């Protein structure tokens, strides 16, 4: 089991401080305060220092914590800032991707990127680059529950033929804008229920050399299909095991749901994919603030065939 965090050479993001169920973060030139249920400890800086540094603060609404409205609320402006801006993902590591993302203030506390995912982006980039050197055709990569597309861009700039799927039209449009902002093209965009698409691809006999899954705890497909992580994850993974090419391929699973451990992620992947793998690693993705407090945010399992 490993604990991973974004490279310190990525200067566009910083977790400045965390505690009292909040986090103080910098995305590019702007600093914000957002709720963080996992920040159980005390803040290292004073409330006055937080408010002085932050451009905006997210305040949970009446539905905060309820199913379907877990992250709803509103932003309070503390200092002048734009509601949309761009950041670059670039590090000193030559084995890492380089792309740009448009960020914005949404009514669900999110801004368009989950920075703790940077180690997964690097993993995707390295594996696609390795596969590219072994074959003439670009490897096919499918990104499910793909949100605004950072993982899709990581695969694309390494030379993959990328299919990006999400059931929400607005975030697919956002992802397309990120592709254009990054100077890329030819990503395939799919707005559909992930389960329905995967099952259809199996019937068609299609396979991919890269699979990326970042499923939510709850969700709905384009036709109202219900997704509940506890009930659907294992079947989804057994289907993905059929979609993943048996050689020179990889799979990345990321889980945010509270109560899901890295050991659980490892066990469920081993059970779904069997023994047909070259390597399988698992662990936690964290953000570390200036005071060396590690904030655990998700667990992952990454398999290579």
3-state helix, strand and coil shares in percent for the chain, rounded to the nearest 5: 25, 30, 40
> Which of 89, 122, 146 is at the close of a domain?
89
Is residue 106 domain-resident? no
Q: What is the per-residue pLDDT for 93?
A: 83
- Residue 221 pLDDT level (bands cut at 50, 70, 90): confident
**Average of per-residue pLDDT across 224-236:** 89
* Average per-residue pLDDT for the chain: 94
Q: Which domain holds residue 159?
A: 112-304
Residue 65: pLDDT band (50, 70, 90) is low
42, part of any domain:
yes
* Alpha-carbon distances of 204 from 200, 243, 267, rounded to whole Å: 6, 10, 29
Distance CA 55, CA 202 (A): 48
Judge if 121 and 14 occupy the same domain.
no
* 83 and 228 housed in the same domain: no
- Please indicate, yes or no, whether residues 163 and 43 belong to a single structural domain of this protein: no
Both 181 and 52 in a single domain? Answer: no
What is the arithmetic mean of pLDDT over 20-36? Answer: 97
Asked if 72 and 139 sit in the same domain, the reply is no
Which pLDDT value is given to residue 29?
A: 97
Residue 149 lies in a domain: yes
* Reported confidence tier of residue 136, pLDDT bands at 50, 70, 90: confident
Structure tokens at 131: 């596969």
Same domain, 12 and 161: no
Q: What is the CATH number of the domain that holds 259?
A: 3.40.50.150
């Amino acid at each position: 089991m490993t604990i991973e965090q974004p490279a310190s050479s990525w200067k566009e993001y910083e977790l400045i401080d965390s505690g009292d169920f909040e986090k103080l973060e910098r995305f590019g030139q702007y600093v914000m305060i957002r709720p963080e249920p996992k920040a159980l400890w005390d803040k290292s800086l004073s409330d006055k220092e937080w408010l002085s540094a932050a451009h905006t603060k997210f305040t949970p609404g009446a539905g905060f914590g309820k199913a379907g409205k877990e992250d709803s609320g509103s932003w309070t402006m503390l200092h002048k800032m734009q509601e949309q801006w761009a950041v670059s993902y670039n590090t000193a590591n030559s084995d890492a991707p380089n792309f740009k993302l448009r960020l914005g203030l949404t009514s669900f506390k999110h801004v368009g990127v989950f920075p703790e995912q940077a180690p997964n982006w690097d993993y995707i980039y390295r594996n696609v680059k390795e596969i590219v050197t072994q074959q003439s055709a670009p490897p096919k990569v499918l990104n499910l529950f793909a949100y605004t597309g950072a993982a899709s861009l990581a695969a694309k700039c390494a030379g993959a033929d990328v299919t990006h799927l999400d059931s929400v039209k607005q975030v697919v449009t956002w992802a397309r804008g990120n592709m254009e902002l990054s100077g890329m093209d030819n990503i395939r965009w799919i707005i559909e229920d992930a389960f329905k698409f995967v099952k259809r691809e199996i019937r068609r006999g299609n396979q991919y050399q890269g699979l990326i899954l970042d499923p939510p705890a709850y969700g709905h497909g384009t036709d109202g299909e219900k997704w509940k992580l506890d009930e659907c994850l294992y079947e989804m993974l057994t289907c993905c095991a059929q979609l993943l090419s048996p050689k020179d391929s990889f799979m990345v699973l990321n889980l945010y749901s509270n109560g899901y451990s890295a050991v659980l992620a490892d066990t469920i992947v081993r059970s779904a994919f069997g023994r047909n793998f070259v390597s399988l690693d698992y662990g936690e993705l964290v953000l570390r603030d200036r005071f060396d407090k590690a904030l655990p945010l998700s667990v992952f399992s990454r398999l290579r065939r």
